[in-house]
């Protein structure tokens, strides 16, 4: 997994130092495809956590009617 610092570093190299994707790829040691994906992603997408599946419902919701009887 690539750390947020690496994302920032790659974006810095591309924007401030005007390095090409190929140069960044050689320097960082990641593939050009990965560098390209990082450059086209916003930093907010990287720093926010997204669940793969919704959280399970609490057991009290499933058995609430039975308990109340």
Domain assignments of the chain as residue spans, ordered by start: 1-47
- CA pair distance 4, 27, nearest whole angstrom: 17
Range 44-50 average pLDDT: 71
Q: Looking at per-residue confidence, does 46 or 8 come out higher?
A: 8
CA 25 vs CA 10, 18, 58, 62, 63: distances in Å: 9, 13, 46, 51, 54
Model-level pTM greater than 0.85? no
Record the tokens describing residue 58, joined without a space. 């609490």
Range 22-30 average pLDDT: 96
The residues near 27 (Cβ < 8 Å, ≥ 6 apart) are: 13, 19
């Amino acid at each position: 997994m690539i750390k947020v610092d690496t994302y920032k570093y790659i974006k810095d190299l591309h924007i401030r130092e005007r390095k090409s994707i190929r140069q960044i790829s050689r320097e960082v040691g990641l593939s050009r495809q990965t560098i390209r994906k990082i450059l086209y992603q916003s930093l907010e997408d990287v720093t926010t956590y997204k669940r793969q599946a919704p959280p399970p419902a609490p057991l009290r919701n499933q058995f609430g009617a039975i308990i109340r009887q």
